[in-house]
Chain A
């Protein structure tokens, strides 16, 4: 068995030939000294208990917040929930899987039958939605570690102009549409990739994103919850359910005295001031206005669909197969001596151009369809935002905008009616 060394030297010649895939070049040694193979085991930690605890805490904390804001009208429990959430869901469980990211898993599972959705991810997605439908955005209040972190550092609320908040308020929806587009085409989970707070919770990671997260946190000292209002796609989704929720947050049960204190206390601009609509509109004018909406909105939607579809080629560049296809085509047109790692892997594993082209075409077809739908949705978002700007409603009292309200409970202690 001394030839082992010789074969070894010989085989080093193979290096010039390139990587060989032969296995078992050397026979299994027959030991004479009674050598026993060492016993190797690789640990698989049992996560069931932790996952169960996650789900239990999620339900318990959300119920606690719901009780605090709907029954008790007090903020104190929410601060405790925020601290627990940042400590447990944020730093201890290091943030994955979170409800925000689970949108993508759920979307993928709905479209792609080969993806098996873990039950914990499903619950992380569905429970806050159900709670939002029942009690409003109690998840955002302090159970979401991202919202809780911003809430805990918030000191002062400088008000942004309405034009700015309206424009920035469209971003979560557009972000949501792109996240869905890239998730169901199996390209990338962009919500997870560009998560600004995960680096802070894990105390390490992409430096650019950590800087972005720190910047957001500094901003949230002076402006209430910039991430929740202007970025979070899950918050956008929850606002749909919160708008029509069965039980709603009310600042006081006693009559409102229009003191506007709650309006100034709200960190997320969710309390609308009274407004006296002086424009008197006849029925005919009203019908005309609605007709205008009915013409303009579909136009914006169709324009969005066309625009996005015309960019579907560029959008698909995020997909790995498309990236590889571009590389291979470039290489075929102008062969280089030094191959990139991707090309080496592609040729080394005997990939053929036909297979790759087939996969490429499938991805492109997917993108043409889904980019058009995404464009239509973006058009819908922009159109509805414009329409909502043109709507004027008379309000005699301060009113909560339940879609925007994150149930943080800051207004309760400001309301003088609550104190009597």
Chain B
């Protein structure tokens, strides 16, 4: 009789045991994963931000088209201390233009984001209007082909939404976009 009673109760006891066992496994795995990761998780040095390595960038033009933002967070920036201040600028004028004037058909930038200011003979200072720049990289291609490479593309930290997977990085032809820690949030040339 006693045995029969035990048998009747046993499924309940078994379920309770299984539940307890499950809780122990779940709690244990939480502790194990935390323990495994606590040494690796970092605050400041963690690679959270996306940035372009200008040495690798081939100006394929996908930064303009593949960013999740309506206007790409990639902008051209200008290293004045690298610039040659040339009159005939490969990033400002299209190649083989007939006349060197500021008519739109002669200029490289499709949105007119690059302006220049006369400094002294024969130097011109080039400035980029970030609001107009769409990150197409045409001027960068011109400047790195014919000039000092002072124009280059960077992801602006104030515009980038820090997607967990950068959509441009998935299509970047030269793997120039990688995760970087905050200390190298920009890879500047000057």
Q: Identify the A interface with B (CB < 8 A).
A: 1-2, 4-5, 8-9, 11-12, 14-15, 19-21, 23-29, 31-33, 35, 37-38, 40, 42-45, 94, 96-98, 101-102, 104-106, 109-110, 113, 115-122, 126, 129-130, 133, 188-189, 192-193, 202, 204-206, 240-241, 243-246, 320, 341-342, 344-346, 348-349
Bound Cα distance from A130 to B27, whole angstroms: 8
Which residues of B in the span 16-61 have a Cβ within 8 Å of any Cβ on A? 19, 22-23, 25-27, 30, 33-34, 36-37, 40-43, 45-48, 56, 58, 60
- Out of A8, A101, A192, A320, name the residue touching B175 (CB < 8 Å): A320
Q: Which residues on A sit within 8 Å (CB–CB) of B167? A: 193
Within 8 A of A (CB), among B80-106: 80-82, 84-90, 95-96
B residues in contact with A19, CB < 8 Å: 58, 141, 144-145
CA distance A133 to B144 in the complex (A): 56
State whether A8 touches B144 (Cβ < 8 A). Answer: no
Q: Is B163 an interface residue (CB 8 A)?
A: yes
Q: In the complex, what residues of A have CB within 8 A of residue B30's CB?
A: 126, 129-130, 133, 241
Rounded to whole angstroms, the CA-CA distance of A27 and B82 in the bound complex is: 9
Q: Are B122 and A118 in contact (CB under 8 A)?
A: no
A345 contact set on B, CB distance < 8 A = 58, 60, 173-174
Q: Which residues of chain B come closer than 8 Å to A116, judged between CB atoms?
A: 40, 42, 45-47, 181
Given contacts A19-B145, A244-B23, A348-B58, contact A96 B161 (CB under 8 A): yes
A17 smallest CB distance to B (angstroms): 10
Chain A residues, Cβ within 8 Å of B141: 19
A23 to B84, alpha carbons, bound, how many Å? 11
B58 contacts A119, CB within 8 Å? no
How near does chain A come to B46, taking the closest CB pair, in angstroms? 4
B185 is an interface residue with CB less than 8 A from chain A: yes
Nearest chain B residue, comparing its CB with the CB of A46 = B182
**Cβ–Cβ < 8 Å partners of B41 in chain A:** 109, 117-119, 121-122
Chain B contact residues: helix, strand, loop or mixed: loop
Chain A residues near B161 (CB-CB < 8 A): 94, 96, 202
Question: Bound state CA distance, A33 and B117, in angstroms?
Answer: 14
Q: List the B side residues contacting A192 at CB < 8 Å.
A: 163-165
Min CB–CB distance B18 → chain A (angstroms): 9
In the complex the two chains form, is B42's CB within 8 Å of A189's CB?
no
Q: Chain B residues in contact with chain A, CB under 8 A? A: 19, 22-23, 25-27, 30, 33-34, 36-37, 40-43, 45-48, 56, 58, 60, 62, 68-70, 77-78, 80-82, 84-90, 95-96, 119-123, 125, 127, 141, 144-149, 154, 156-158, 161-165, 167, 170, 173-175, 179, 181-182, 185-186, 188, 190
For this complex, 29 residue pairs linking A to B, each with C-beta atoms less than 8 Å apart, are A4-B87, A5-B86, A8-B89, A11-B146, A11-B147, A12-B96, A15-B145, A19-B145, A25-B147, A26-B84, A27-B84, A31-B119, A37-B81, A38-B80, A97-B162, A101-B164, A106-B33, A109-B37, A110-B36, A115-B47, A116-B45, A118-B41, A121-B41, A122-B41, A129-B30, A133-B23, A244-B22, A345-B60, A349-B56
Residues of A within 8 Å of B56, CB to CB, are: 349
CB distance from B23 to the nearest CB of A (A): 4
Chain B residues with CB below 8 A from A348, complex form: 58, 174
Q: Is the CB of A117 within 8 A of B163?
A: no
- C-alpha gap A106/B37 in the complex (Å): 8
Are A26's CB and B42's CB within 8 A? no
Contact of A40 among B78, B85, B148, B149 (CB under 8 A): B78
Task: Please judge, given known A-B contacts A26-B86, A119-B42, A244-B19, whether A44 and B146 are in contact too, CB under 8 Å.
Answer: no
Contact among A20, A121, A241 for B26, CB-based, below 8 A = A241
**Is the pair B84, A246 in contact by a Cβ cutoff of 8 Å?**
no
Among A32, A98, A320, residue most surrounded by chain B Cβ atoms (within 10 Å): A320
Closest to A2 in B: B122
Instruction: Looking at the assembled complex, report how far the CB atom of A270 sits from the nearest CB atom of chain B, in whole angstroms.
Output: 17
Whole-angstrom CA separation of A385 from B32 in the bound complex: 27
Closest 7 pairs between A and B when the two form their complex, measured CB to CB: A26-B84, A8-B88, A244-B22, A118-B46, A345-B174, A189-B165, A345-B173
A residues less than 8 Å from B62 (CB atoms): 341
The smallest C-beta distance from B19 to any residue of chain A, in angstroms, reads 6
* Candidates A11, A96, A126, A349; contact of B163 at CB < 8 Å: A96
**Are B147 and A14 in contact, CB atoms less than 8 angstroms apart?**
no
A residues in contact with B23, CB < 8 Å: 133, 244-246
Whether A24 pairs with B82 at a CB distance below 8 angstroms is yes
How distant is A348 from chain B, measured CB to nearest CB, in Å?
6
- Given A8-B146, A244-B26, is A1 in contact with B122 using a C-beta cutoff of 8 Å? yes
Q: How far is the CA of A4 from the CA of B83 in the complex (A)?
A: 12
B residues in contact with A117, CB < 8 Å: 37, 40-42, 46
CB distance from A296 to the nearest CB of B (A): 21
Distance between Cα atoms of A352 and B96 in the complex (Å): 34
- Chain B's closest residue to A122 (CB) is B41
Q: Are B162 and A96 in contact (CB under 8 A)?
A: yes
List 11 additional A-B contacts (Cβ < 8 Å) besides A116-B46, A119-B42, A193-B167. Answer: A12-B146, A21-B144, A29-B84, A31-B123, A38-B80, A45-B158, A101-B164, A101-B165, A118-B43, A129-B30, A345-B173
